[in-house]
Amino acid sequence: MSNRQTQINNLITLLRESGFRITPQRRAVMQILVDNKEHLDTDEIFNRVRKEYPKVGLATVYKTIAMLKGIGEITELKFNNQNRRYESSGSAPHSHLVCTKCNGIFDFNNDALGNITSDIMEETGFNISNYRLDFFGVCHDCQSGKNN
């Protein structure tokens, strides 16, 4: 079974266990979030679900996103002047490279913060459970003028 299928099945099991019902709309939203690593925003998710279910309501998409966020299966990202974006929480710890010209968002896998985190916990008494690290700058394509 493909990894993609496994992820969806795990999600469905989790939803059932949490007392949520499995509907085609919810399946579609989950499928889209698992398949796409592009940090989609609500509108993009809505439009993709609508291709499959033209009658779906925007509110349903919002409610599904809220549910997935509530059980911790997706993470919400908000960058300046952009709509909220979502990524599935399952992926490895990573930071984001945000291009201030084209608004592109690129993942960068790194584990360099492990030591820093424990240092800060010791120093401050703060009990850190996760972090978010975003770098802002200009991506390679925008530097070379490809996106103009």
Partner DNA sequence: TTTTCTGCAAATGCTTTGCATGGGA
Partner DNA sequence: TCCCATGCAAAGCATTTGCAGAAAA
Residue 36's Cβ-count burial label (10 Å; 0-12, 13-18, 19+) is middle
DSSP 1-19: --HHHHHHHHHHHHHHHTT
Output 70 or 90, the one with its CB closest to a copy of itself.
70
Binder among 1, 59, 92, 112 for DNA (CB under 7 A): 59
CB of 2 vs a copy of itself, minimal distance in Å: 29
Question: Which structure tokens are listed for 58?
Answer: 């925007």
Site for DNA contains 31 (CB under 7 A): no
| Contact stretch for a copy of itself (CB under 8 A) within 23-31, 34-42, 48-56, 129-137 | 129-137
Which residues have C-beta within 8 Å of that of residue 30, sequence separation ≥ 6? 8, 11, 12, 64, 68
The site partner of 3 among a copy of itself, DNA, none (C-beta below 5 to 8 Å per kind) is: none
Binder among 5, 38, 62, 131 for DNA (CB under 7 A): 62
Site for DNA contains 4 (CB under 7 A): no
